[in-house]
Structure 1
Amino acid sequence: MADQSIIRITKEIGELQKSSDLSLAVAFRDRDVRSVKALIIGPHETPYEFGFFEFAVKFNKDYPRKSPSVTGTTTNSGRCRFNPNIYASGKVCLSILGTWRGERGEEWSAAQGLESILLSIQSLMSANPYENEPGFEDANESHDKKNQKEYIAKIRHETLRISVIQRLEEYLGLSGGCLPTASSAEQEEYGVEADDDIEIDDASVPWEPFKDLCKRRFLWYYDSYLESIAKAKEEVKDGQPFARMPFEGASNSMDGKFNYTELEKRIKRIKAALDAEVEKWASDWASPKMKDATVAVNLTRQFEQIKESFKRSDVPHSVELVNGNPFVWNLTYFGRPMTNLDGGMFRIKLNFSPRFPEEQPRIKFLTPVFHHRIAADGTPCYFPNSSRREDVKQHIEAIIEALEEEQPPYDPRTLVHPEAHKLYWGTPEQRKIYNRQLRRSVQRSMEDF
């Protein structure tokens, strides 16, 4: 039974890791497949939007006959209840987990699995979580509507503060709001003086399998975070205390005060830190030890192969190393004929970490392009093959595919450029405006060359 249980768990984890679902991620250490970490990214158009919520899943030896135990770990050290069904202690109340009484047919069965559990938890992260509390499902009195609005407001604030900002600050070793070393342009943009005491704390951290994923997703959703903050600033005042809900208790609540001005500063500091991190990757190559490292040799070999393959192919794209550095590539992309990109020439920089492929490359379009899959700062939203993370060519192919895709399915998890996204998925007239702006950026790309 134990062996069958492990086979089942391993199979479910493998299927999730290969899944195209952008809002779920799972990981485990080889020595303990029964202890799994799971990440759920908050759904679009909810107060949890693009937040990073982590859960610990423990499978017992009777799985799948019995459900695993699930504990929420994104709780601000047990001080924040993010949902009527997700307690500050980490308890997750779900009938399929046996932690809440459900109707007949809602209890656990062996036909269910890890994915169904995570999707059930994700469904709790709704547009109006106030209604998740038993007895408040149809609360329509005036005071209930006021409570709903106030509950949503504080969840949105704490999603940004705890699940996004605190998490990224811990990943980057930012202490006391300090910024990493930044360029003069970044210092001006983020309000940093040249003589500020700026440092990154390199203290060791526990096993964090989602660190690289969250960093890359933060860059995807950066403009959405800022847009959310700007909107919230119009609705609440800094220093305004959170309202206590009727179902919240002293040790199981979400208490605090709004301070979006501070959150905005911190989120910009994170962006500066991520930009500085990429610059450090490039400068690390100067070390004699790094020049002979396996990753440098591997990247050099892949560069030579890709450059040669472009020469032999019909497409005019090309790659070059920046100053001979195998950790920094420049890709020149030529727009495909008979598309909105026709005639465009775009420079794209690929930055590689000394820990590649554990840390995936950071990509940035140096040539501005108005595109729903490319953020305002040039960060593309693309999907590399998870089983070939070490293959640079498939990264390049995935970037080009995202750029050229003519009829993509609607997916709000790819919302990386708010303005372009709204136009692209809007009315026919809005789509025409989008196409005109894209064509203008294509024409300007030729001028910039």
Structure 2
Amino acid sequence: MADQSIFRITKELSDLQKNSDLSLAVACRDIDVRNVKALIIGPHDTPYEFGFFEFDFKFNKEYPRKSPQVTAITTNGGRSRFNPNIYANGRVCLSILGTWRGERGEEWSAAQGLESILLSIQSLMSANPYENEPGFEDANEPSDQKHQKDYIQKIRHETLRISVIQRLEEYLKIGSDGSVQAPASAKGEYDLDMDTVEDESSVPFEPFKDLCKRRFLWYYDSYLAAVQKGKQEVKDGEYFQRMPFEGSSNTLDGKFNYSELERRLHAIKKALDEETESWAAEGLVAKAKETTVAVNLQRQFEQIVEHFKRSGAAHNLELVDGNPFVWMLTYFGKPMTNLDGGLFRAKLCFSPRFPEEQPRVKFETRLFHHRIAADGTPCYVAPASRREDVKTHIEAIIDALEEEHPPYDPRTLVHPEAFKLYWGSPEDRRVYNRRLRRSVQQSME
């Protein structure tokens, strides 16, 4: 039974990690598959939008006959309740977990698993989370309407403050006042002299650290838009309203300060940009020491350049200052498309801890495109099984640019203005195409 349980958990983890769902991530230490960490990225058009919510899963030996134990970790140290069904102490109330009384047929069954639990939790993160409170169907009084609005406002504020800003400040070792507590790069976890990573038991298990940093760059403009929306609705210094279902030790208390959140978002973006720039200097040291990563990146660069020559691809690739950790891709727009005639330069920066830290890419040539953020950061997804293969990253970037009929996916909302035009009315799409073509023409000037 124990072996079957381990096999089932391992398969579910593998399936989820191969999945291209941009809102879910799972991880565990190799030696302990029964203890799993999961990340849910808050859905678009909800007060949880693009927040990073972490959960711990503990699987017993009777799994899948019995459900795992699930604990919410993103609770501000046990002080913040993010949903009527997600308590400040980490309790997650769901009928399939046996932590809530559900209707007949809603209880746990062996057919369910890790993904179905994550999707059930994600469904709680709705546009109106107040509706998850039992008895909501009777909430028709004006006072209840006000409670719902007040609840949405404070969830949006705390999603930004706790799940995004506090998390990134901790990762980057910067204080809430913008002060740097330690070097932003993870030098303590990697020794360039030894070319080895420290024993994993001595390093905190933070499997979503790199993912959250890269997603912050994706969603940065959306976070700023949420701040502006909040500023229009509430005043700085105004206290949160307590909800009828919130108890003294199971609540979401505090006060609004969107001006402060905006300043901290800017500080995080600056720190991330500086961290990316620091990789170049670290990379030169790694190159001089001929570390495994430096040799690997140099070899991959040469292979991809040769591949471009053999395939007749017009794209060009160069090392910046001969540094194998900084590549410059020159992309020529695909003929017979809106990109035809364009010439775009994108810088790929690699960490000495690649592929644990994935490359950060930024288009230096301005391009108005729904998959490229205002600062030039492209939204692309490389296959999880080939994260160490730089060629797949380049191919994924080009595919994201050239995709003719992309499916609507708000998880790729990295340029709010372009995204809204692209998926808007026919006239909106025409405006989008005109602005895209204008940026293509300007790229050659």
Distance 2:419 2:375 in 1: 15
1:16-31 pair list within 5 angstroms: 16-31=16-31
Provide structure 2 residue ranges, at least 5 long, that are not aligned to the other structure.
Answer: 190-202
The aligned counterpart of 2:73 is: 73
Distance 2:182 2:289 in 1: 28
TM-superposed CA distance for 1:177, in Å, is 2.3
Distance 1:286 1:21 in 2: 35
TM-superposed CA distance for 1:309, in Å, is 1.0
Q: Does 1:168 align with 2:156?
A: no
1:174-189 pair list within 5 angstroms: 174-179=174-179
Instruction: Give CA deviations for 1:271-320 in whole Å, capped at 9, x if unaligned.
Output: 00000001110011232675411100000000001111111222210100
Q: Does 1:42 align with 2:42?
A: yes
The aligned counterpart of 2:194 is: none
Distance 1:27 1:287 in 2: 31
The aligned counterpart of 1:122 is: 122
Q: Does 1:269 align with 2:264?
A: no
Q: Which amino acid aligns with 1:287?
A: V
Distance 1:7 1:60 in 2: 13
Residue 290 and residue 245 in structure 1: after superposition, are their counterparts in 2 closer, same or farther (change >3 A)?
farther
TM-superposed CA distance for 1:176, in Å, is 4.5
The aligned counterpart of 1:85 is: 85
Match of 1:298 among 284, 296, 305: 296
Distance 2:227 2:293 in 1: 39
Instruction: Give CA deviations for 1:380-439 in whole Å, capped at 9, x if unaligned.
Output: 000101000000000000000000001000000000000000000000000000000000
The aligned counterpart of 1:341 is: 339
The aligned counterpart of 1:104 is: 104
Distance 1:378 1:336 in 2: 19
Q: Which amino acid aligns with 1:144?
A: D
The aligned counterpart of 1:234 is: 232
Q: Is the 8 A contact 2:286 2:294 kept in 1?
A: no
1:383-398 pair list within 5 angstroms: 383-398=381-396
Residue 414 and residue 384 in structure 1: after superposition, are their counterparts in 2 closer, same or farther (change >3 A)?
same
Instruction: Give CA deviations for 1:46-95 in whole Å, capped at 9, x if unaligned.
Output: 00000000000000000000000100000000000000000000000000
Instruction: Give CA deviations for 1:196-219 in whole Å, capped at 9, x if unaligned.
Output: x99659788721000000000000
Q: Is the 8 A contact 2:287 2:294 kept in 1?
A: no
The alignment partner of 1:57 has SS state of strand
The aligned counterpart of 1:152 is: 152
The aligned counterpart of 1:369 is: 367
The alignment partner of 1:232 has SS state of helix
The aligned counterpart of 2:431 is: 433
The aligned counterpart of 1:251 is: 249
Instruction: Give CA deviations for 1:17-59 in whole Å, capped at 9, x if unaligned.
Output: 0011110000000111000000000000000000000000000
Q: Is the 8 A contact 1:175 1:200 kept in 2?
A: no
Q: TM-score w.r.t. structure 2 length?
A: 0.95
Instruction: Give CA deviations for 1:125-153 in whole Å, capped at 9, x if unaligned.
Output: 00111010101234121000000000000
Distance 2:286 2:435 in 1: 46
Q: Mean alpha-carbon deviation: is it higher for 199-208 or for 57-66?
A: 199-208
Residue 199 and residue 79 in structure 1: after superposition, are their counterparts in 2 closer, same or farther (change >3 A)?
same
Q: Which amino acid aligns with 2:339?
A: L
Distance 1:54 1:264 in 2: 23
The aligned counterpart of 2:197 is: none
Distance 1:31 1:198 in 2: 30
Distance 1:178 1:147 in 2: 34
How much is the aligned-residue C-alpha RMSD, in angstroms?
1.5
The aligned counterpart of 2:52 is: 52
The alignment partner of 2:297 has SS state of helix
Count of residues in Structure 1 that have an aligned counterpart in Structure 2: 431
Residue 90 and residue 409 in structure 1: after superposition, are their counterparts in 2 closer, same or farther (change >3 A)?
same
Distance 1:81 1:274 in 2: 29
1:211-226 pair list within 5 angstroms: 211-226=209-224
Provide structure 1 residue ranges, at least 5 long, that are not aligned to the other structure.
Answer: 181-196
Q: Does 1:278 align with 2:276?
A: yes
The aligned counterpart of 1:14 is: 14
Q: Is the 8 A contact 2:338 2:433 kept in 1?
A: yes
Q: TM-score w.r.t. structure 1 length?
A: 0.94
Q: Does 1:328 align with 2:326?
A: yes
The aligned counterpart of 1:421 is: 419
Distance 1:140 1:127 in 2: 17
1:302-317 pair list within 5 angstroms: 302-317=300-315
The alignment partner of 1:364 has SS state of strand
Q: Which amino acid aligns with 1:148?
A: Q
Q: Is the 8 A contact 1:64 1:113 kept in 2?
A: yes
Q: Is the 8 A contact 1:174 1:201 kept in 2?
A: no
